[in-house]
């Protein structure tokens, strides 16, 4: 075998090793409250709850915010710049098809946008500001909005909601407006990795991030913190109604 061919084979082998390593370098977050887990890149981290709580309450100790976890790129988490994710969970129980449609219709009315149904393999494949994108088969919906910017410039929020048997998991992705298209594949992988199946034993032995749920804390969801305004108040009212209906139906 010629030396050039040998070098070519070595180079291809090295590339394959790098690609395989890149495909498995992910952290796993497991939500005890929501009873699900999803993967996020190892270039991101879960921000500690004290730091996240201070940021979300805007320094107001009397304002508690109901969030499950906050994640950010390692290079930017300290100042909440760049891209980051706020995860919340509404444990309202399984929603019927009619109830899901009610949530989607409420979003359509609130944002004044039509609903665009897509197949699961097309979900979050491109940004879309003129419609509510709904993956009916996968129980997923995403909406893109502009939010107040900061010193780095305009910012965008992508809210991806996942319906499942315990309620709704809400992924609030924040990104500089100019970076949304480049960041979208990462966000999609996080949402698509959502699972309620039991973690594999190999995953359980790894670095799993577990939500520190304090029992008895009376937190309230403040959507204005996530969107810069009371945009989803209709959905919040719907969720409260679902919770009340669920309590009344319990023996």
CA end-to-end span of the chain: 78
Q: Which phi and psi (to 5°) does residue 170 adopt?
A: -115, 120
pLDDT tops 50 at residue 180: yes
CA distance 134 to 7: 49
CA distance 211 to 172: 17
- Quick one: pLDDT at residue 202? 42
Instruction: Quote the tokens at residue 158.
Output: 């992508």
CB 57 within 8 A of CB 64: yes
- Quick one: pLDDT at residue 152? 72
* Mean pLDDT of the region 169-181: 91
- Quick one: pLDDT at residue 199? 67
* Mean pLDDT of the region 187-209: 72
CA distance 81 to 103: 31
For the stretch 117-165, pLDDT in tens is 999 999 999 878 899 999 999 999 999 988 877 777 788 999 999 999 9
DSSP string over the chain: --HHHHHHHHHHHHHHHHHHHHHH-EEEEEETTTTEEEEEETTEEEPPHHHHHHHHTTT-TT--B--SEEEEETTTGGGT-S-EEEEEEE---PPPHHHHHHHHHHHHHHHT--EEE--GGGTTSS--SSSEEEETTTTEEEEEEEEEEETTEEEEEEEEEEEETTEEEEEEEEEEGGGHHHHHHHHHHHHHT-B-SPPPHHHHTS-EEE--PPTT---B--HHHHHSSSTTHHHHHHHHHHHHHHHHH--
Q: Would you say the C-alpha torsion 222, 223, 225, 228 has a positive or negative sign?
A: negative
Return the CATH superfamily for domain 26-249.
Answer: Mog1/PsbP, alpha/beta/alpha sandwich (3.40.1000.10)
Q: Could you tell me which residues come within 8 angstroms of residue 210 by beta carbon, excluding any fewer than 6 positions away?
A: 29, 30, 32
Q: Please tell me the pTM assigned to this model.
A: 0.75
Task: Compute the radius of gyration of the chain from its Cα atoms.
Answer: 20
Domain locations in the chain? 26-249
Of 58 and 205, the one with more pLDDT? 58
Closest CA to 209 of 89, 15, 7, 36: 36
């Amino acid at each position: 075998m010629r030396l050039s061919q040998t070098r070519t084979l070595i180079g291809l082998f090295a590339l394959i090793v790098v690609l395989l390593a890149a495909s498995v370098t992910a952290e796993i977050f497991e939500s005890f409250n929501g009873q699900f887990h999803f993967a996020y890149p190892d270039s991101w981290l879960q921000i500690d709850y004290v730091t996240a709580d201070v940021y979300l309450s805007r320094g107001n100790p009397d304002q508690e915010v109901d969030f499950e976890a906050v994640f950010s790129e390692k290079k930017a988490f300290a100042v909440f710049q760049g891209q980051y994710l706020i995860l919340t969970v509404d444990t309202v129980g399984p929603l019927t098809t009619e109830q899901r449609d009610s949530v989607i219709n409420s979003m359509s009315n609130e944002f004044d946008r039509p609903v665009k149904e897509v197949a699961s393999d097309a979900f979050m494949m491109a940004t879309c500001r003129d419609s509510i994108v709904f993956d009916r088969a996968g129980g997923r919906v995403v909406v893109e909005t502009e939010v107040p910017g900061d010193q780095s410039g305009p910012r965008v929020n992508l809210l991806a909601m996942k319906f499942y048997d315990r309620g709704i998991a809400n992924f609030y992705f924040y990104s500089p407006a100019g970076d949304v298209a480049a960041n979208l594949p990462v966000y999609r992988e996080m949402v698509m990795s959502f699972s309620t199946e039991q973690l594999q034993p190999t995953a359980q032995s790894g670095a799993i991030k577990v939500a520190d749920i304090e029992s008895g804390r009376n937190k309230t969801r403040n959507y204005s913190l996530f969107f810069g305004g009371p945009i989803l108040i209709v959905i919040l009212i719907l969720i409260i109604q679902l919770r009340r209906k669920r309590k009344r139906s319990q023996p």
